[in-house]
Amino acid sequence: MSVIVATAYMDEAQRFDWLVAMDAGRVLATGTPAELLERTGTDSLDAAFIALLPDAQRRGYQAVTIPPLVDSGEIAIEATGLTMRFGDFVAVDHVDLSIRRGEIFGFIGSNGCGKSTTMKMLTGLLPASEGQASLLGRAVDPKDIATRRRVGYMSQAFSLYSELTVHQNLVLHARLFQWPAADIPARVDEMVRRFGLAEVLDALPDTLPLGIRQRLSLAVAMVHKPELLILDEPTSGVDPIARDRLWQLMIDLARNDQVTIFISTHFMNEAARCDRISLMHAGRVLVTEVPAELVRRRGAATLEEAFIGYLKDAGAGGEGVGPASVLEAVPAAGSRLPVTPRGRDAHAPFSPARAWSYCLRETLELQRDPVRATMALLGTAILMFVFGYGISLDVENLTFAVLDRDQTTRSLDYALNLSGSRYFVERPPITDYAELDRRMRGGELALAIEIPSGFARDLARGHQVQIGAWVDGAMPVRAETVRGYVQGMHQGWLLDQAQRRLGQDGATGAATIATRFRYNPDVRSLPAMVPAVIPMLLLMIPAMLTALSVVREKELGSIINLYVTPVTRSEFLLGKQLPYIVLAMLNFAVLTLLAVTVFGVPVKGSLLTLTAGALLFVIFSTGFGLFASTFTRSQIAAMFVAMIGTMIPAIQFAGMLNPVSSLEGLGYAIGRVYPASHFLTISRGVFNKGLGFTGLQDSFWPLALAVPVILVLSIVLLKKQEK
């Protein structure tokens, strides 16, 4: 098999069969490594690459030379017994360091040996488990803001704001370090000149090559003129020219500005440039020495050989351990590229095996983050409780108060008539209009009653009297109910009065009405709400679970798997969707069980029908999440689309509180086609009305139709290539 590798590392390139050297989109030379060395008359690939560059590129390049360190005797960094434990794991084990002012101090070791952790402890980003460290004569204290002004830190990964331009990043950091506003433009200009950023001033960092981005990072770390720079692998992934340029800048800072530089690296030629180096392995410092002295002491030919000697002494690696594999020990552990099946269905338009491998991968992702699945299951159960009991459509305990200007037994009797009902709760009486106004405006009273003076007298004389009632109309649903109650009770009181006075039965009407409240004879909220809450939860939770699945890969970069493997968009999406459908069905089982056992809302109809409806519905809701995930670029946006695309229709347009047929305008149209309305009909039909498939098939068709629509939409919107 042929393998094509792109790299900026020359020692890696050294081992390949055949090389293509490229710069700025043009091929510089091709050939075996030996041929390239021969053609340029150089002894290392680094030098060969530089020699191959066009003159314009090479101009200004000079081989890195390091003037000797003038020892001032001051100590910039001092650490004794520095230790970091994460649980049982000892990441850094009693490290001692002493770095002189103006020194370039190198920190060498494989990935994961504790370099970054040590550096973070020194900057105060991580509190040490044990041991002391001091910077510039002051103990490291995460709360000590003053020390931070004297230190510049550049982390391993690019960590500047990609949403700000180069210039904005520089200015922001200068301001965050509280530089005097008047001096900032000059300082930023100086940085731009020194680090050669003039041409990219208004560019966004993501559009720049790595070399320039690292230069920007260094400029930002230097913008506040620190006395100490802590650089965590600043040159990884950067090509030789850019790397040497960065070194030139650092040497300039160290020798001319007396900036102490503490740098970690895994490049041997960089290690050789440091004044002193420490070799770290498995959390411990093996040796600290001047590079040349190290080589001499081991009697090795190169620094690399010397290191391997030390590492073997320390028990690392075994037979056949190459230098690179020791220093760059397997960073990509657990890389999750799904295995693409070969053979028969490799070219099929839809290969179940490929979809299955994505399904397994997504399942693994879910397993690795058990909190999310637990939240989904437990969370829905809790929400079911909250809404089942919390959302009550019975309007009760309405507050009212009386402005009784009559104060007779009759008027008191009228008020008693209201307060005696279970719908109303009486508040202290009102004394005048101003108070009535104030208390109603504050929302304390849902209803205010005014009984005029002379009420009892006029009533006894048979004069027409009028009782005033004000209903708080701020919440129309409640107001209508209050209005209905008050009218009913007023009629009842009149009838009662007439009976008492005349001793006669209330006049019977010409006809009566026998009202049958079907499906929910007691007109209780719970049996009506529980079947309505299930669709809402089965829409929102699965949609949110899947909403980030694709866009997250876009934001964090692993979407490249989709771009470079023969997997089709439908295999990719359906494979991802499957585990979430299973999870959502589990959710459905929990909800149904809760409804039957805890809430006592039995499944009167066909459970099979309900399950089939739920299955279709969760395929839709997980599909909606995928849909939100395919056309957005950021996780926030996807989350937002999933939220507003499900919450508002589910609560307001799907018929949970008001039947869809009563809605108006666009809301009505949405309610008609939105699958949640149809599943709501199925859920209520099975739970409350005892129906099976035949009674509900009209709701099944739109639901079944929505599934392919949302899936096809997601597949179409997902791009197979990077834009």
Partner 1 sequence: MPHLATIYRLGIKELWSLARDPTMLILIAYTFTVSIYVAATAMPETLHKAPIAIVDEDGSPLSARIGTAFYPPHFLPPKMIGLPAIDAGMDAGDYTFVLDIPPNFQRDVLAGRTPAIQLNVDATRMSQAFTGSSYVQQMVLGEVTEFVTRYRAAAALPVDLALRARFNPNLEQSWFGSLMEIINNVTLLSIILTGAALIREREHGTIEHLLAMPVTPAEIMLSKVWSMGLVVLLAAAVALVFVVQGVLRVPIEGLVSLFLAGAALHLFATTSLGIFMATLARSMPQFGMLAVLILLPLQLLSGNSTPRESMPELVQYVMLAAPTTHFVALGQAILYRGADIRVVWPQFLALAAIGAVFFTIALNRFRRTISQMA
Range 219-229 burial, b when 16+ CB lie within 10 A, else e: bbbbbbebbbb
Residue 591 touching partner 1 (CB under 8 A): no
- By beta-carbon proximity to partner 1, the closer residue of 142 and 708 is 142
**Minimal CA–CA distance to 286: which of 302, 306, 262, 261?**
306
Residue 371 touching partner 1 (CB under 8 A): yes
Phi–psi pair at 86, nearest 5 degrees = -110, 100
Say which DSSP state 396 is in: -
Residue 67 touching partner 1 (CB under 8 A): no
Restricted to residues 606-645, the positions that interact with partner 1 (CB under 8 A) are 632-637, 639-644
CB of 719: closest distance to partner 1 in angstroms? 15
Restricted to residues 386-415, the positions that interact with partner 1 (CB under 8 A) are 386-387, 389-399
Residue 514 touching partner 1 (CB under 8 A): yes
**Minimal CA–CA distance to 106: which of 237, 292, 282?**
292
For residues 173 to 212, the per-residue mask of contacts with partner 1, x marking binding by CB under 8 A and - elsewhere, is x-xxxx-------------------------x--------
- By beta-carbon proximity to partner 1, the closer residue of 65 and 466 is 466
- By beta-carbon proximity to partner 1, the closer residue of 10 and 160 is 160
- By beta-carbon proximity to partner 1, the closer residue of 279 and 529 is 529
Say which DSSP state 652 is in: I
- By beta-carbon proximity to partner 1, the closer residue of 249 and 469 is 469
- By beta-carbon proximity to partner 1, the closer residue of 297 and 672 is 672
- By beta-carbon proximity to partner 1, the closer residue of 38 and 144 is 144
Q: How far is CA 176 from the centre of its chain?
A: 26
Rule CB under 8 A: choose which of 51, 69, 125, 251 binds partner 1.
125
Rounded CA gap, 585 and 429, in Å?
A: 55
- In this structure, the number of other CB atoms found within 10 A of the CB of residue 38 comes to 12
By CB under 8 A, which span of 253-261, 312-320, 522-530, 591-599 interacts with partner 1?
522-530
Residue 330 touching partner 1 (CB under 8 A): no
For residues 227 to 256, the per-residue mask of contacts with partner 1, x marking binding by CB under 8 A and - elsewhere, is ------------------------------
Rule CB under 8 A: choose which of 40, 408, 417, 525 binds partner 1.
525
- By beta-carbon proximity to partner 1, the closer residue of 268 and 545 is 545
Handedness of CA 612, 614, 617, 618 (dihedral sign): negative
Restricted to residues 33-62, the positions that interact with partner 1 (CB under 8 A) are none
Rule CB under 8 A: choose which of 36, 541, 559, 710 binds partner 1.
541
- By beta-carbon proximity to partner 1, the closer residue of 132 and 178 is 178
- By beta-carbon proximity to partner 1, the closer residue of 536 and 710 is 536
* Residue 722 structure tokens: 């990077």
**Minimal CA–CA distance to 466: which of 485, 450, 484, 483?**
450
Going along 327-427, which residue ranges are E strands?
Answer: 398-404, 424-426
Residue 719 touching partner 1 (CB under 8 A): no
Rounded CA gap, 326 and 282, in Å?
A: 12
- By beta-carbon proximity to partner 1, the closer residue of 286 and 376 is 376
Rounded CA gap, 580 and 621, in Å?
A: 10
By CB under 8 A, which span of 155-163, 248-256, 312-320, 616-624 interacts with partner 1?
155-163
Beta-carbon contacts of residue 181 (< 8 Å; ≥ 6 apart): 175
Burial classification of residue 5, based on how many CB atoms lie within 10 Å of its CB (0-12 exposed, 13-18 middle, 19 or more buried): exposed
Residue 364 touching partner 1 (CB under 8 A): no
Strand order in the sheet with 138-139: 89-100, 75-86, 130-135, 138-139
Phi–psi pair at 623, nearest 5 degrees = -65, -35
For residues 485 to 504, the per-residue mask of contacts with partner 1, x marking binding by CB under 8 A and - elsewhere, is -xxx-x---x--x-------
By CB under 8 A, which span of 7-15, 120-128, 282-290, 304-312 interacts with partner 1?
120-128
Rule CB under 8 A: choose which of 110, 118, 155, 621 binds partner 1.
155
Rounded CA gap, 217 and 213, in Å?
A: 6
Residue 653 touching partner 1 (CB under 8 A): yes
Residue 691 touching partner 1 (CB under 8 A): yes
CB of 119: closest distance to partner 1 in angstroms? 10
Residue 113 touching partner 1 (CB under 8 A): no
DSSP per-residue string spanning 56-109:
HHHTT------PPP-----EEEEEEEEEEEETTEEEEEEEEEEEETT-EEEEE-
Restricted to residues 661-680, the positions that interact with partner 1 (CB under 8 A) are 661-668, 670-671
By CB under 8 A, which span of 98-106, 153-161, 325-333, 338-346 interacts with partner 1?
153-161
The length of the chain, given as a count of residues: 723
SS3 264: strand
CB of 534: closest distance to partner 1 in angstroms? 13
Residue 457 touching partner 1 (CB under 8 A): no
Instruction: Give the CA distances from residue 127 to residues 78, 120, 230, 581, in Å, rounded to whole numbers and listed in that order.
Output: 16, 8, 17, 43
Size of the site for partner 1 (CB under 8 A): 155
